[in-house]
Amino acid sequence: MRNTGSNPVRLMTIVTLGTLSLIPLLISCSDIHLNQGPVDSNAVVCWGDSMTAGNEGVVDQGEYPAILLQYIRHKVINEGVGGETSSQIGVRQGGIPTYVTVDGGVIPSHGGVTITFKRGYEPLTSPNGSTRGSILGVKGIVTLSATLPDGTFTFTPVPSGGTPVEVTGTPQFIPDTPYAGYLPVFWEGRNNLLKTAVGPWGPDQIMYDIAAQVATVPAGQNYLVLSVINENYPLERLGGQEYATLKKLNQTLSSTYGTHYLDVRSTLVNSYDPSSPVDTTDHEFDMPPSSFAAITAQGTLAGDIGTTDTSFIVNVTAGTLRPYQNLVIDNESIRIFKVSGSQVTLAMRAYGGILQSHSAGMTVTLRDPTHLNKYGDAVVAKAVADKLVGMSRHPWLSPVHPYRRAPEERVSSLELNSPVFSPPEWEPCPARVRADGFRCPRKRDP
């Protein structure tokens, strides 16, 4: 918000994906709650879901914010929470308003009270941690008893001992926002691109949610919006119906945010290993390469399998076999549909790579179709660092280059496991501790 007088307004453009329409929104100060700290162009906050949270899989785990720190050598905060939609991320970030029902109609002076959020607009989605904020000026902590959709929210005033406050209707919960002055990187929308029971979904909703968050960026501060990457399953491959939806969303993000947009999806796709038949197939279908996918299970084949076998047993040594993931054996990727313990009972052969027979004892690697391993995270971190350096008025030094795009210079596991990838300044996402403040592009009851 840029102050232009006693009653400032902001003209905002919302781009929708059906017909690219421009909707001017006038926002008055009465609709926006401001309490941000000083702008810090040298600190970065990464907002997102599990793609940002990272640490997926059983080996080769990584977090792009942690690797980003090695490039820019400035404070980086990881605000990624797995499973969250762009709306839920926006609530945590402070750009999307959320409202509560207070059980009994009173906020007590001591102890907690049960509160209810509208589905899809919760500031907390798991019992791990808590969220600070305020209701009707009463500061407190929100906790959740179990992972959504189960669990009950409790609001506990902090400090206790104040006057009980009567509540009517559905007042706004205002989350604390200690990182409001940091340079934000928004990477979200993967969990509500397609229809979901969690809450609002679809490209138009994602565009609205990101616009609401971008509207909170203070004057003089840069920001970055990252593209959504496709999942490695048939409908999101080149030519698939959902592939077209994803591409259109990313095109709209690009046209809306211009130089503030970064196409990490294309960077990942083009960083494939051409010597790998599986990666080559992924590249042909405009997919991020399987070699960058998180590993959810490892093991060996229990017996020989021929080219027509769609059922076989795996001696699992790490992780768990899961359906709807991609199992790589040598130069072949096999799409798994059904499993029973350590047995694959239904699969699609030659989903990627080359259809082959495989001998007992061959290494089996189950790849997550959605999440990245540390090598993929390194690609994202490098792309973000390069973009931030280009945007910054004060160039950031890059002491280490753990990934280069040329295949012959691909990062080694030895390098990623070296001490340089144990950043001493890394600050993981705290237990939702924020400073008071809330802002939104317009007042909208979700």
CATH of the domain at 346: 2.40.10
Which helix (H) or strand (E) segment holds residue 256: the answer is helix 241-257
Note whether 284 and 196 are same-domain residues: yes
Note whether 216 and 347 are same-domain residues: no
Note whether 52 and 183 are same-domain residues: yes
In the chain, the number of structural domains is 3
Note whether 261 and 380 are same-domain residues: yes
Let me know: does 285 contact 269? Beta carbons within 8 Å: no
Please, which residues bridge with residue 144 across strands?
Answer: 153
Share the mean pLDDT of the chain. Answer: 83
CA–CA distance, 29 with 405 (Å, rounded to integer): 46
Note whether 75 and 202 are same-domain residues: yes
More confident residue, 2 or 148: 148
- Give the tens place of pLDDT for each residue, 161-182: 989 999 999 999 999 999 999 9
Sort 259 into a burial class: Cβ within 10 Å, 0-12 / 13-18 / 19+. Answer: exposed
| pLDDT (0 to 100) of residue 198 | 85
Note whether 203 and 70 are same-domain residues: yes
Note whether 315 and 367 are same-domain residues: yes
* Domain coverage including residue 11: 1-94+177-292+372-441
Sort 390 into a burial class: Cβ within 10 Å, 0-12 / 13-18 / 19+. Answer: exposed
Q: Is residue 446 part of a domain?
A: no
Lowest-confidence segment of 146-155, 385-394, 403-412 by average pLDDT: 403-412
| pLDDT (0 to 100) of residue 291 | 98
Collapsing DSSP to helix, strand or coil, 280 comes out as helix
Could you give the angle at the alpha carbon of 380 between the alpha carbons of 377 and 385, nearest 5°? 120
Q: Which of 4-8, 29-33, 66-70, 403-407 has the highest mean pLDDT?
A: 66-70
Q: What is the DSSP letter of 60?
A: S
| pLDDT (0 to 100) of residue 11 | 29
- Give the tens place of pLDDT for each residue, 425-442: 323 333 333 232 323 333
Q: Is residue 146 part of a domain?
A: yes
| pLDDT (0 to 100) of residue 169 | 97
